[in-house]
Each structure stands twice: as structure tokens, then as C-alpha cells.
A and B are shown apart, each in its own frame.
Chain A
Amino acid sequence: MSATRDHLGRHLVAVTGMGLVTPLGLGVAESWAGLLAGRSGIRRITRFPTEHLKTSIAGQVALPEEAGRPPLSSPERVERMAALAAAEAVAQSGIDARFPGPLFLGMPPVEVEWPQRLELARQTAGEAAGRYTAMIAAAEGRRDLFETFLFGGIGERLADRFGTEGAPVSVSTACATGASAIQLGVEAIQRGEAAAALCIGAEGSVAPEAMIRFSLLSALSTRNEEPERASRPFEKTREGFVMSEGAAALVLESLESARARGAEVLGLVLGAGERADSFHRTRSNPDGGAIIGAMRAAIADAGLEPGQIDYVNAHGTGTPENDKMETLGMRAVFGEAPPPISSNKSMIGHTLSAAGAIEAVVSLLTIRDGILPPTINHETPDPAIPLDVVPNAARPARVARVLSNSFGFGGQNVCLVLGAAP
């Protein structure tokens, strides 16, 4: 039996349950099969009118309870997808009573949305029609709105449902959110604060206003006529990311406690590293310092050398800027012969707050099955990106350790190192 402590004497952190909800399917099996088949989950948006939108494509999760009714609000979608992923993860872990640790939920900011605002506005009239004062009066007694749109509401309901311990912590670090949620869980276990942690990243922001806002930043692909070909990370003709939604959940546990209860260990979270950038709100410092720092910090935290990383699960959004900077980071950290790197976002789009968690699960599946998911839509290589991006088709490879990158707007960068079960 191998050690249960890491190179710094901390508890080794095992993964004993995983759950996925992506545009490729509900559940780990369907989503992973789609990724290995190189299938795109990007489609024309059907959930709401797309007139006047520059981008009318997205990754969308079809929730069974939404059929034939107006779309759920973002917090409701986030909560449902998070709950589906968490239920799958907890079931796999075999934990069947109270969950023996805290909940860390990576989620987007939420607020009262247009359908609610317009519903309230319809109850106003005359001089005050549509005014906030009148809408506030119309909203009196609407505890349902309060509890739905509070930031803490989603976490509270999930904590209640899964019986997690203590106050649920909801975290947002933009596109690194899912990785931050995992990092918080890893740290709580490493410091012995908890035997386990339920870590979730969930996103449900595909809605008109959010899409318009990202469009105003020129961040989104506008390849509306070919949705499946729109997400093109690391490719020469890439021109933006594709918004998407989904959720992933991981049951983390100290290796010691997982073994003590005879749970199957699916893999390890070996290390985490983070570094904030002070350069610009939406761009990285051209020197790549924060990205490189986060990658190196994660590898060092795992007690490894860069040469021991077999594969990198990319942040790989498909924006000209990100992919250029990630390439710079790869060359700086790994030198002339970097390991293969591929982007799940080429198939499922950018799930924003969920991405870091989804990609951590995919990293563990990559290790489990010894097969690298591809970067699809790789038609014209970009000479400025001299990387093996596993173009277009999955391929077998022996993978023991994966670096998973997450780089966020606002300069929040988090990297994880995932490893095989001992």
C-alpha cells in the first residue's frame, strides 16, 4: 500500500466520484463518448430569439424539465445542472448518507433577469411605468425572487440536498472558476479541515444579455452559419470563443479516508497553482508571467518537474489572444518539446464557470482510458502555434499526469495537476 501523504506531508487528495453535464450529453459516459468521437455540441440557439445578436450559436444543455415551457433563469439552470453532476459524482463515490465535508461551488454571478423584470414592469402603469420604484413595489412579498437570485441561494439548496457540512462556499474567478472550486476543496483536505469535499463548477449564462455583453468585448465567434465548426482553438482562422453551459462535480477525499471506507480511487489531484495578473482586465501581460507562474506553481505544488507532465488539457478558448498566450506559456514551461495539448472547448464550447471542473474530469478520464481527446476543427495550422494539439482525432497515449489550465478575465489563473490512482 502506497503512502497517503504527499511530498510536503499533506494528505494526498483522491477523486472518488465524477459527474458531467455538457452539451454533448447528460452524464460522464455520454459526454466522454462525444469528446472521443470528436463531436461538436455547438448548435444554433433555439431557446430564445436571436434577432439582433451578432452571435446566434452556443453550446446548450437540454434540461428535461424545460421542454415545452419558457427557459429557466440562469440560477435555476445552474442549480439543476450542478445537482445532476453532483448526484452522479456522489453516487459513484458510494457516499450514501450525509456528505462528510463542505461544498465548494464555482458559479457565475446571477441577478434578476429580463423575464422577471418585464413581469414586474407589466404590473406598473402611468407615470411610474417601468420605473424601479414601481417594480420594487410590485415585487413586494416575492420571496421566490429573493431566494432564487441571491448569490448564496444555489449553494444553500445544493448543500441542503447533498447534506454537506458547514457553510457552502461559492466562488467566481471568471473562466478559472471551476478550477478554483477544486483548489478550495483540495486545500481543505490537505490541511485536514475535512475528510472530503464536494467541488462543483456550473454555468448557465447562455441568455441574450450575457451574449450581447461578450459580443461587445469582441470575444465571441460569429461563425453562425457553421456552428459545429465555430470553435477553433489553436487554429489559424480562430476568431473567438463559443459560449456554452454545463456542469461538473468531483468528490474529493483524502486518500486515507477513501481507502479506509474501501472506495474506488479514480485518480488524484496532485497539485494546484495560481497567479493573478495585474496587466489588464481582459488581456494577459504580454510577458505571460502570470500564466507561466500558475503552470509552474501547480507542477511544483505536485512535487513534479515539467518533464513529468504527459499531457496538457488546454484552456484553449479559441480567442486569438488566449491561444497565443497559452502557446507562450507552454514553450516557457516545457521548452522545445512540450507534451501534447488539446482543447475540449473545440467540442463543447467555453462553459466559463464550469470549464475548469469539466476539464478536470476530462483529464482524469484521459488518464483512466489512456486516450487523448482531440482538438477538432483543426484545418489550417497556425505557424505561430508550434504545438501538438491532437488535431481532429483522439489518439491513444500513456498518460499518468495531466496539467489542466484555466485562465480567466480579470487575470485570475489557476492550474491543476491530475494524476493516476496509486
Chain B
Amino acid sequence: MSEAVWITGIGLVSSLGEGEAPHLAALQDAASRPAVDEAGFAPFPIHPLPALALDSQIPKKGDQRQMEPWQRLGTYAAGLALDHAGARALAADMHLVVAAGGGERDVALDETICRELATLPPGEAGPLLNGRLANGLRPTLFLAQLSNLLAGNISIVHGVTGSSRTFMGEESAGADAVRIAAARLAEGRGETALVGGAYVAGRWDMLLLFGTSGALWRDGWVPLAERGPGGVVMGSAGAFLVLETARHARARGARGLAKLSAIRTGTARRRSDDTARAEAGRLAEGLPLRPGYAVFSGASGASDPLAEEAAFLADLAAAGPAPGPVRHTTDLLGHAVEATFPANLALAALALRAGLVPQALVTGFGLWRGEALALLEPIAEEAGA
């Protein structure tokens, strides 16, 4: 009934670059810094997308044209994960769970319409709005905008067709996508799953939404530790994982990067004593932590959850074995919302595989809501593996 679940491939793209090498290098260098664009979306610094060799993962130009950067990034990262796991041939029966945000708006059209209609009384603006939209919207953009069409594109481009689900709900969606995919494999409803998300930081439409949180960092980029009580820098990232039952991976001679030994999610209402700290404490109950466990923190940088996470980690250290280093990965990737939790699992899996850490606790503390923990264990080399 309960099969061990491994991570057998990762597809990771961030402003640092793509794949294992730049991310492993960044994990090993405490002074490593993400690429920063401070001018393009001022006053907000963001971590931009690196140049992608799109043709290598999305060979048909027609497919590329049907997507905007967010879907392209996700589809690209998903392909990297399949390649990394050597799992292309398994795609037809593979489950797919995507954590998605909203797709790109046509910002130029929005601005043109806003400029024209802002001075009109609402009674006149309504009919005119319809006309401007009917003439201005591009049909292809609708499909590029639909949240579930990242999954649709992954099915079309990579042939992943076992099942397809898209979760929406910011950071929590990323963690629950992994949790539910892993639970289905553990109970024997399939052998492989592709799970992850993508976020493009350089988007005015998303900066409008996240700007209203009041949590975004402004002006020059500095590491999280120098942002006073906190501050969120949005980061571009595509992060997909191939999850696989240990039985299946062994049978096909695939190497496991790490064992996903626990993943738990919850949500504190973050009022009175229903705090993120307490919720994370409940999620951590009974986790078999060992001395020196490394923490890959998915904190967004927002001040309140950052303080809650610090208190939770202190509680954990006081009650259990001595922890190893805590890495706030927002200093490497920025905050990539839905992609954050899968990206941190990918980083942790790489670190375990490279022998950099003995055990990894991955945390998720949503900018607004949602707490998540995952525990990753190394996989011993097996004869013949």
C-alpha cells in the first residue's frame, strides 16, 4: 500500500541558469548571487529569465507561438525533468500535476484601454470597453492565459497523458501538487508523476497583484538578511520533478536523486493563536530529523511569515536534533510563488545527491497563507544501480 517515492529527475530553470550545474554551484558558494534586473520593472527588482534554447524542448514553432513566456518556461522545465530522469518513454502513462498561476495579459492593450476609458463616466466606458476588447484581443492569447493550459501544453509537447490536474493557490498549490502526486504513487495509482510549476517575474500584471500585498521589496537588490524585517523579490523559475516509485525506478535501473520521505501541508488562519509557527510545528510532529539536517527555506521574504518561520525553526532546534545550515533560497531564486516549493525540493535533491547535506527539510511559508514541509533523504548507492 505504501511504496517509497523517489525524485528521479529535476528540471530547474532560474535566473542562475538551467539544470544541475549552475544550481549546484550556487548551493556550494555562500556568496553566489542571482541575476537581477533592477531597471525593467522599477521600482521592483526582479530576477529575470535566462535565455532558453526553446527549440530543444519545444521543437514546433507552432507550439511556441501558442504560448506566452510563462507556459513556455513551464513546458521547457518539464522537458528538462523528463530528460534528467531518462523518462521520456514513460510519458504516456505518467500523471501530471501542475501548480499554476494566471497567464500573461496583453499589457499594451490593457494600458491603451485604460488610458482611453479612465476619463469616461462608467456608463460610457462599458460599451466602449467591449468594442476595444473585441477588436484588440488576440485569440491565441486566451489559451496562453488559461491556467490549466500549461498542463495542456506539457501533454501536447511532451506526451504526458496519464492524467492532468492543475492546482491554483500560490505557494500552497506547489506543495499540494507534490503531496497529492506522491500520495497517488505511494498507494499504487501509477508509477511515475511529473509535478511542478513556473513563474515569470517580469510581468506587470502580476506585479499589480503582488504589489497590493505591500510586501514587495523596492529599489536595489540586497540579500534577504539585509532587508530589515523582510521584503519579497519576485524571481523567475520553472521547476518540475519526476516522482517515481522506488520499485519502478529500480526495475528500470534509474538513479534516484533523493527519497521523498514525508510531505505535509497545512494552512494557519494566521490570527490569534492559529499561527504559521504553530501550524508548521504540527506538521513537523514525528519527522525523523537527524543531527545536521539542512533547511531549504521557501520563505517568500515577507516579514511576518519570515518571523514565524524563524520561530518555528528555533522551536524545532530546541526540541530535536541540532540542525545544520539554513538556506533561504529566495537569495538564489527570488520568490517564484507556485514554483517555489518544487524548486526547493529540486535544490535539496541536488544537494543530497552531491553529498552536500545529510538530510534536507524543505519549508514553505506562503506570502499570505499556507505552510508546508517536506523531508528528503539520501538514497544509498545500490548494487547495479
Chain A interface (Cβ < 8 Å from any Cβ of B): 48-54, 70, 107, 109-112, 114, 117-118, 120-122, 124, 129-133, 135-136, 139-143, 145-147, 149-153, 155-156, 159-160, 166-174, 177, 180, 184, 187, 191, 193, 208-209, 212-217, 274-282, 290, 408-412
A37 to B130, CA, bound (A): 35
Residues of B within 8 A of A177 (CB): 148
| 4 pairs of A and B residues whose beta carbons are closest in the complex | A410-B152, A130-B115, A130-B114, A152-B169
| Min CB–CB distance B279 → chain A (angstroms) | 9
A279 and chain B: residue at smallest CB distance: B156
- B130 A410 Cβ-Cβ under 8 A: no
Residues of B within 8 A of A149 (CB): 209
Residues of A within 8 A of B112 (CB): 130
Residues of B within 8 A of A277 (CB): 155, 161
* Most A CB within 10 A of own CB, among B112, B146, B169, B180: B169
| B139 on the A face (CB < 8 A) | yes
Interface residues of B in 164-182 (CB under 8 A from A): 164-170, 172-173, 175-176, 180
Residues of A within 8 A of B165 (CB): 171, 173, 180, 184, 412
| B127 on the A face (CB < 8 A) | yes
A148 and chain B: residue at smallest CB distance: B212
| B267 on the A face (CB < 8 A) | yes
10 A-B pairs (CB sep. < 8 Å):
A52-B130, A136-B204, A145-B209, A147-B368, A160-B269, A166-B266, A169-B173, A172-B100, A174-B152, A411-B155
Residue tally, chain B, CB below 8 Å to A = 83
Residues of B within 8 A of A117 (CB): 110, 114
Contacts A130-B115, A147-B368, A410-B152; is A166 near B214 (CB within 8 Å)? no
| B131 on the A face (CB < 8 A) | yes
Chain B interface (Cβ < 8 Å from any Cβ of A): 66, 96, 100-103, 105, 107, 110-119, 122, 125-127, 129-131, 133-134, 137-139, 142-143, 145-149, 151-153, 155-156, 159-170, 172-173, 175-176, 180, 183-184, 187, 189, 204-205, 207-214, 265-267, 269, 366, 368-372
A107 to B173, CA, bound (A): 13
- A152 B368 Cβ-Cβ under 8 A: yes
- B170 A150 Cβ-Cβ under 8 A: yes
- A168 B131 Cβ-Cβ under 8 A: no
Contacts A118-B125, A141-B214; is A412 near B205 (CB within 8 Å)? no
- A276 B96 Cβ-Cβ under 8 A: yes
Query: Besides the contacts A53-B134, A166-B266, what 15 more A-B pairs have beta carbons closer than 8 Å?
Result: A49-B127, A118-B118, A118-B129, A131-B114, A136-B207, A151-B147, A151-B169, A152-B170, A153-B368, A160-B269, A168-B267, A170-B167, A209-B137, A214-B142, A412-B148
- B114 A275 Cβ-Cβ under 8 A: no
- B267 A167 Cβ-Cβ under 8 A: yes
Residues of B within 8 A of A110 (CB): 102
A23 to B146, CA, bound (A): 25
- A282 B143 Cβ-Cβ under 8 A: yes
| Min CB–CB distance B188 → chain A (angstroms) | 9
- A151 B102 Cβ-Cβ under 8 A: yes
- B148 A174 Cβ-Cβ under 8 A: yes
- B213 A146 Cβ-Cβ under 8 A: yes
- A212 B370 Cβ-Cβ under 8 A: no
Q: Which of B102, B113, B211, B267 has a CB less than 8 Å from the CB of A166?
A: B267
- B110 A276 Cβ-Cβ under 8 A: no
